[in-house]
Structure 1
Amino acid sequence: AALGHAPPMWKRLLETTKKVSAAAPELATRKRPSTSRSPAVSPATAVSRASLLRLKQAAASKKTTLPSSLPHALANDGEEEDNSRDFTKEILSILNGPDDAEESGATEALPEESEDDVDAIGNKILDMEWFAGSQPSSAMMHLRKEVVREKKKRYIFKNTESHRFTRLMRMCADKLGTESALEFFGRLGRDTGPKEFNALIRVCLEKARACGDVDSAVEHIFRAYRLFEMMKDRGFQIEEDSYGPFLLYLVDVELLEEFEMFSAFFRDANPRSCSRIPYYEMLLLIRAQDEESIRELCRSVEDCSEEADYCIAESYMLAFAESNRKMDFVTFLELLDPTKVLGSKYISSIFKYMGRLKLENHAEKLLQKMTSKEYSDVKVSSLIFDYAANIPSIEAEDVISAFNKWQEKFKVAPSVGAYDRIISFCCSSSKISLALDVAECLCKSNPSVPIELLNPIINACEQGYELHMARPLYNLMSLYKLKLKPETFRSMISLCVKMKDFEGAYTILTDAEESGETSTVSLYNVIMAGYFREKNHNGAQMVMSQMQIAGVKPDSETFSYLISNCDCEEKISKSTWMN
């Protein structure tokens, strides 16, 4: 939106938030404008024939020809029942005799390991019992597989890779020891880098914190130090994400002498850390309540004429803010050059601290300088939110009011990124209805809203069991013609199924078919799983028939649901028939 249009739009949002605040008890039952495509459906109501017909038409317009193993779309229900026998035979042939040719071929292509290779890895290590306990039951195994499958649908591997690797490294460190774990991964061909070292250092710190006294934790502290030495010897740069948690542990247990020794080692290993380690040093003195040493360090950087002194002073200022020493923080904030403060890589943290300490005047002065020096609206909006969202005990409505006030005062157009953070804040505060109002406000002013902006609302509806918000959320997507992705379709269908709104689920499925830009087999599977959870085999049977008509070939997940919910082959066969 242009600058001139921003204030009226945000005034409207402010009025909305005031109405929401005044009518807070009614939020749970409030109905949004009727933009839905179908009337409300009770859990017991079957899917209407009109919805099924629309789905058939959408599938027919999407496909050109059906797979050779599936029958063609039929003209009436009687013919569908007769021709579905071929589909039943296909399922039974897969269940009775899977074709493992590709898997066996892939296995044969692998080179055989020699005994020497096995010995090099160390069979004594690999023979250890890593997992204790009895074998889980088949029902539990199925439940675990279903949970894993759902997670794979919702998360990207790169976002979970770090967690999985840390878990693996922790397991290895517990069984073998930290140094042996590094050697073991090296023998397996895994390159050892900062990521591996950081994972093992975190393991050492977790064990040190779990000890009842410092004397018991010394062994784990020494192991962490040995890992830092190995990093240095191998030429790796020891950055703050490596030494920061270690120094914080020493601060927490107030080990003054050990802190001096290790901080000297880190300064020698990485000269760039000389301006950042003072942050941890000041935290340690504050924790130890050594006021004399604190004042001595502050006097050493009063001049701040050199760049190194300025960086150290900035670290002291952040340490004071982290420790809630408001007066000391303000002293340094007024001492430092505002231009350098605005250019600091910690500027976001500084505004968060100013919000937490309620330093409105100082935040306003810095923002005034930013707007006069032509900083981007995106950065200014972000910093305004950093301040407003960190005011103690503030409600989501008040965050929006404060944000709106400062946006108008400095004549800054709110950015999409600011909307995104406001929506996430509302969702984390369980104000999903308010988050939806913010999203609607953005959609009206910006025709190219990315669908990812609504992901926090989708997740909040699912995690907070606000399933009734699924329909107004999807109405918003449809009203403003947002381009949905496969995972969005799946999430919305899942919400409808959980609230037993199968009519709504079929509506979204039909929209996905009409879009022609996504594979729909996973969407059919979500509806089928919902019917099986309700012990509604007729509904699951109808899903199979719709897949057959649409030419959607079932996948392993489809067959998994059939096998898990049918206790004999005859029932699996019947699951592919229509009533």
Structure 2
Amino acid sequence: MIISQMRYSYCSYFLRRRNLSTRSRSSSSPNNNFNSESSSLVSGFDADSTLSSLKIKRPSLSDDSSNLVFKQISSIFYGGELVKRPGSEKIDGEKEFERTPKISWLSNISQSNTYLRRKEPSREKKQKCMFELSQRSRFDRLIEICAKVLGTGATIELFGKVGREPGLKGYTTLIEMCIDRARGTDDDDIATEEMGKVFHLFKSMREQGLDLAEQAYRPLLLYIIDTCLVEEFHFFCNVIKDENPSSLARLGYYEMMLWLRVNNEEKIQGLCDYILENDDEDASNLRESYLLALCESERKKQILDLLEIIDIKKLSSTESVSQIFQALGRLLLEPVAEKFLLDFKTCDHEADNITNFIASYTINIPNVSVEDLFIIFKDLHQRLDVSPSSSSYEKLILRSCALLKVPTALDIVDEMCEASLILSTEVLHSILQTCEETCQYDLVHRVLSTICRFKLETNDEILRCMIDLFLKMKDHQGAYKMLDYLEEINLKPTASMYNVIMAECFREKNIRDGVRVLEHMQNADVKADSQTFSYLISNSETEEDIVKYYEELKQSGVKATKQIFIALINAYAACGQLEKAKQVVLDPLIPVKSLNQIKSVLVSVLASHGQLPEALLIYEEIKEAGFTLEPKDIMNIIERTHSDGELDRLLLLLEELNDTDYWNGACGRIILYCILNNHLSSAVDLCKLLKDKFQNDELVMDVLFDKVFSPIELVESESRHLHTSLEFLSEMKDKHGLLLTQECFDLLSARANTTDLHKAD
């Protein structure tokens, strides 16, 4: 496709502009974005020209950062940088990856998952979720890893080299990452650059023969709408339309959303007038899109005007009709809703759809108690002579849960079940989750009664949640009775159910009853899983018990997971056996891909037990392998560092923290370190970092109070630290204009005399 220089100039013009917040708003005619003249805008892509105009450097796979990516890729597919296969030499994961560029990843994943399903017993919810994620997202993880390290352009190049293009889902993931970065920055140049990357991704999709579907362009358009970038919206809409002409009607939805966002009354009314006054095919296709966008607003007049000319029975989907009924509920338009419902009833529309429309309308009525919503729901069904369906009842039940009205939700369940309708396990689980969130643990008795009375379908997770609710009431007997109930319904308890009881016993420091859970499992012929042994090892009181449970695990054939080795490290450390804790990382059963995570735990444990030099040695090993510590482990090292001469290392650790909360705490802790070791200028520099980050003096002082001033005790040996802190306050006032909060002032007043405090004034 030949692209004119004018089109590139237009693209370069708006994508290079630096101030995103001061975009001019278009004043063109209401439908100028979708008429025939718009086809003269961009209809193709030149990635190099665009990237050049944006000053974006195309990442190269020869960069050092690619080595880390290869290590992480090999970690996913080969279990780590070095893998030992049965009966073979050690294999370098990076070389193996390069050696097999056409590897059939999907088939390998399928075979791996089949093996895991055959070998692994059931786990607790967390393990199940982890396993499911590993099944469906291994390839997506690769895309994310590469994009984070190399950037989107080099990621596409990398996967092209190994014969595996991202596909629509992969491209969508990359686009979403670009948009997330644009949303997460206050730097206009970075946000502009991320839009340029999306432009390049659109071009790559076209080259791969992929349609520019809505799931790919939706994140970009929503971002542009949220940031009120009118000209950019016009540009990208024309790009999308040229690449996917069938998207014209759907783009109308986003156009109306844009004018609603910028509150341009002229444009909104202009679009409405266009489809009200025209009856051609283009206007007809746009009507539904404009209406659905308006339904997300409070513009009652325009919605009613469009509903006069649109036959909602002919809308493209029942989801679209449901959105209209939701808007009618929010706007309290009951006569209009009832009129449309009668129309559906008159034309013999499916009863299930009608009852769902009633539910969509009802649950969106504002400022009405859920009990009254239920009355409205039943009244509308009676007037229309329609019976509620399971799905419409469930909408009301979920609305009750959202409003934290569990007893009302259970009343609706009773009425639903009495009508011989089936409650889904997903909704039943939502009710139990709400019981937990609202601390209405005792309602588990009523849930159990309902399950028994109506013989409701359950699953392992529902039963585990119910056991947990009994335990939260300290009703251990009730929890065990739940296990007995399983026999009545011909179900066998699982290890995860017993694990819940065991975990609660250990949380209560009831070691004896926690250990006895294992006996109950054995009596019920339920095999312990890795989580069971992890709990037992973590709560072992003696070295002998640690060894015993680990040996039992190996003899049982249960696979030793990452959690097992973490439990071993913590258990040995708790027993004072730090040398044996260090030996855990040498265990040949450790999964190679988990080794560095397990080492991270050891680093934290050693730091906590005063062995900081050894902790730092292991930390360096982890870094050399291309990995980083978890934020909490980095924080642990920082908090345990007291001796002078470690400031450079602390600052490097601070740079590695990418978690905001941990970074704030670590920065404050390092400032305290500087005060205690008389590095006043460094403390002031760090304070400037905090000020630049927060741009709010009160937030800065809150961090300083929590992490700096409150730990300083006024004792004879620490009086010099108090004086240093007062000098620090004086410097902050002089250089950055920061003043003490009242809380901080009161604390220092209690620890120093009036003369000292005058130094900080």
Both proteins in one fold, TM over 0.5: yes
Structure 2 vs 1, CA of residues 464 and 187 (structure 1 numbering), >3 Å: closer, same or farther?
A: farther
SS in 1 for 2:236: helix
Report the 3-state secondary structure (helix = DSSP H, G, I; strand = E; otherwise coil) of the residue aligned with 2:366: coil
Name the structure 2 match of 1:397.
Answer: 371
**419-428 or 205-214, which moves further after superposition?**
205-214
State the match for 2:132 in structure 1: 157
Give the match for residue 294 of structure 2: 320
Q: Which has the higher contact order (CA 8 A, sep 6+)?
A: 1
The equivalent residue for 1:499 is: 473
- Residues 108, 510 of structure 1: alpha-carbon distance in 2 compared, 3 angstrom cutoff: farther
Distance 1:417 1:289, change over 3 A: closer
Q: Which residue type is aligned with residue 394 of structure 2?
A: D
In 2, distance between residues paired with 1:319 and 1:121? 49
| TM alignment of 1:79-478, pairs within 5 A | 107-108=86-87, 112=91, 116-117=95-96, 149-153=124-128, 157=132, 161=136, 169-186=143-160, 190-212=164-186, 214-303=188-277, 305-341=279-315, 345-446=319-420, 448-478=422-452
User: Which whole-Å deviations, capped at 9, do the CAs of 1:114-133 have from their partners, x for residues lacking one?
Assistant: 875455799xxxxxxxxxxx
More moved, 271-280 vs 462-471: 462-471
Q: CA deviation at 1:429?
A: 0.6
| Residue 261 to residue 452, structure 1, CA distance change in 2 (3 Å) | closer
The answer to whether the 8 A contact 2:125-2:461 is kept is: no
Counterpart of 2:705? none
Distance 1:460 1:566, change over 3 A: same
Residues 413 and 423, structure 2, Cα contact 8 Å, conserved in 1: no
Which amino acid in 2 is paired with 1:478? C
Distance 1:207 1:540, change over 3 A: closer
Report the TM-score, using the length of structure 2 for normalisation.
0.54
SS of 2:231's equivalent in the other structure is: helix
Moved more, 381-390 or 215-224: 215-224
Post-superposition shift, 1:544?
2.2
Superposed CA offset, 1:196-217 (max 9, x none): 1111111111222233364542
Which shows bigger deviation, 429-438 or 294-303? 294-303
Kindly provide the amino acid, as one letter, of the partner of residue 333 in structure 1.
Answer: L
**SS where residue 468 of structure 1 aligns?**
helix
Q: 1:293 to 1:491 in 2, by over 3 A?
A: closer
**Residue by residue, what CA displacement relative to the aligned partner does 1:262-281 show, whole Å, maximum 9, x if unpaired?**
11110111111101111222
**Alpha carbons 2:178, 2:195 under 8 Å: kept:** yes
C-alpha contact (below 8 Å) 1:120/1:187 kept by paired residues: no
Deviates more, 1:440-449 or 1:458-467: 440-449
Q: Is contact 2:401-2:409 (8 Å) kept?
A: yes
Q: Write the letter of the residue equivalent to 1:220.
A: E
**Does the C-alpha gap of structure 1 residues 338 and 553 become closer, same or farther in structure 2, counting only changes over 3 Å?**
closer
- TM-aligned CA deviation for residue 514 of structure 1: 4.2
Determine if contact 1:153/1:487 at 8 Å carries over to the other structure.
no
Moved more, 291-300 or 111-120: 111-120
Change (3 A) 1:343 1:565: closer
Q: Give the conservation status (yes or no) of the 8 Å contact 1:318–1:329.
A: no
Whether the 8 Å contact between 1:462 and 1:495 is mirrored in structure 2 is yes
The CA distance in 2 between the partners of 1:300 and 1:543, in whole Å, is 72
Offset of residue 424 of structure 1: 1.0
The alignment partner of 1:276 has SS state of helix
Instruction: Encode CA deviations 1:322-366: one digit per residue, 9 max, x unaligned.
Output: 232211111111122343248665111111111122222211111
- Residue-pair matches, total: 447
Whole-Å separation in 2 of the counterparts to 1:445 and 1:355: 26
Shift of the 537–212 alpha-carbon distance from structure 1 to 2, 3 Å rule, reads closer
Residue aligned with 1:346, SS: helix
Distance 1:110 1:467 in 2: 56
TM-aligned CA distance change 1:151 to 1:350, over 3 Å: same
Of stretches 557-566 and 320-329 in structure 1, the one that deviates more from structure 2 is: 320-329
Secondary structure at 1:567 match in 2: coil
Task: Describe how 1:483-498 pairs up with structure 2 within 5 A.
Answer: 483-498=457-472
Q: Which moved more, 1:281-290 or 1:477-486?
A: 281-290
Post-superposition offset of 1:314: 1.9
Q: Write the letter of the residue equivalent to 2:403.
A: S
2:383 maps to amino acid: K
Matched, 1:563 2:537: yes
| Structure 2 equivalent of residue 37 of structure 1 | none
Q: Quick one: distance in 1 between partners of 2:376 and 2:485?
A: 39
- Which position in structure 1 is the counterpart of 2:34? none
Aligned-residue offset at 1:435: 0.7
Matched residue SS, 1:403: helix
Seen in structure 2, the aligned counterparts of structure 1 residues 539 and 371 have a Cα distance that, compared at 3 Å, is same
How far, CA to CA, are the matches of 2:398 and 2:130 in structure 1? 18
Is this contact kept in 1: 2:389–2:421, CA < 8 A? no
Task: Say if 2:502 is the partner of 1:528.
Answer: yes
SS of residue in 2 equivalent to 1:302: helix
Q: In structure 1, list runs of 5 or more residues that go unmatched.
A: 1-103, 123-147
Q: Which amino acid aligns with 1:506?
A: Y
Partners of 1:536 and 1:574 lie apart in 2 by 20
Greater shift in the superposed pair: 352-361 or 178-187: 178-187
Matched, 1:553 2:545: no
Partners of 1:282 and 1:514 in 2: how far apart?
A: 58
Amino acid corresponding to residue 258 of structure 1 in structure 2 = E
- TM-score, normalising length: structure 1: 0.70
3-state DSSP of counterpart to 2:404: coil
Structure 2 unaligned blocks of 5 or more = 1-82, 102-122, 553-761
Q: CA deviation at 1:290?
A: 3.9
Secondary structure, counterpart of 1:322 in structure 2: coil
Take 2:84 and 2:131, find their aligned partners in 1: how far apart are those partners?
A: 29
Q: Does 1:511 align with 2:485?
A: yes
DSSP 3-state at the match of 1:238 = coil
Q: Distance in 1 between matches of 2:91 and 2:245?
A: 49
Paired residue type of 1:151:
K
Call closer, same or farther: CA 1:171–1:154 in 2, change over 3 Å.
Answer: closer
Distance 1:398 1:109 in 2: 71
What is the CA-CA distance between 1:221 and the residue it aligns to?
Answer: 0.9
Cα 1:287–1:521, aligned 2, differ >3 Å: closer, same or farther?
Answer: closer
RMSD of the alignment, in Å?
Answer: 3.2
Question: What is the distance in 2 between the residues matched to 1:252 and 1:478?
Answer: 50
Range with greater deviation from structure 2 (315-324 or 182-191): 182-191
The offset of 1:479, in angstroms, is 2.3
TM-aligned CA distance change 1:538 to 1:314, over 3 Å: same
Please give the secondary structure, in 1, of the residue aligned with 2:295: helix
Cα deviation for residue 258 of structure 1 reads 1.9
CA distance in 2, matches of 1:560, 1:189: 41
Structure 1 residues 117 and 425, CA, compared in 2 at 3 Å: closer, same or farther? same
Partner deviation per Cα, 1:455-509 (whole Å, 9 max, x = no partner):
1111111233221211221121122222432222222112212221111111111
Paired AA for residue 126 in structure 2: K
